[in-house]
Copies of this chain bind each other. A is one copy, B any other.
Amino acid sequence: MALRDRVRDVVDGRRFQRMVIAVIVVNAITLGCETSTTLASSYGEVFDALDGAALGLFVLELAARLYAHGPRFFRDPWNCFDFVVVGVALLPAAGPLSVVRALRVLRALRLVAMVPSMRRVVTALVRSIPGLLSLSGLLLLMLYVGSVVAINLFRASGDPRFGDLGATVLTLFQITTGDGWSDVMRDLMATQPFAWIFFLVYLLVGTFTMLNLFIAVVCSAMESESAPVRGDADDRLAEEIRALREEVRALRLEPVGDRG
């Protein structure tokens, strides 16, 4: 237990954290340099060695923190994130998993967990997600329903953007973001002159829903943030008034004799 305490002191210490941050940053930079073909051909082995060293250090660090905190380690979602990101890098990067190699740089996101101000920002962001779930569900439903309608209406036009359900969902997502929707519509209108009806309805309903609810959720999050401040002020006033009432009550109950 004494060793564990000592390890925990080291692991939670400022110096250790700074060292980990330094390793993350150096690792992120080498992974960035590796993308340059000229640098990679000259220093490819150096980068690989540095990457391996960084991964080794991360594994050691996580092991130390896991040992120091015991099973409570996994209660903090940030620790779970660290664990997954480092664990993924240990998967064999060959064959069908070669895409994992491209994801090594996700380790740089560990920086978010180490820098308090970024951590706070992301925590606030994650907290706003539950409020967005019914909204996201609604939008997914609209995207699905809209796509099935669209593919039935526009498949006959032969446009590859409405070739199968997957392509149609992607096209409708594109329309929801407003990027190049008029091109898609004009291409369809060459063969189906009433295609604009679908686009108008989908754009109005979809964009309106998304924007309206998005703003509503963000704002309600802010409201709940500012509400305590108002509540505190009200409580302070109520407190003052209650104290005053006590004094008035005391006035009534005091015998006249005590006052003379």
**Interface positions of A (Cβ within 8 A of B):** 28, 31-32, 35-37, 99, 101-103, 105-106, 108-109, 111-112, 115, 117-118, 120-122, 124-125, 128, 133-135, 137-138, 141, 144-145, 148-149, 151-153, 155, 164-165, 168, 170, 173-174, 177-183, 185, 196, 200, 203, 207-209, 211-216, 218-223, 225-227, 229-231, 233-234, 236-238, 240-245, 247-252, 254-257, 259-260
Contacts and interface: CB of A to CB of B under 8 A. Distances in A.
A182 B178 contact: no
A155 B135 CA distance: 36
A255 B108 CA distance: 76
B152 A138 contact: no
A124 B241 CA distance: 38
Number of copies: 4
A153 B252 contact: no
Nearest to A200: B173
Contacts of A260: 255-257
A223 B220 contact: no
A103 to B, nearest CB: 6
A223 B103 CA distance: 40
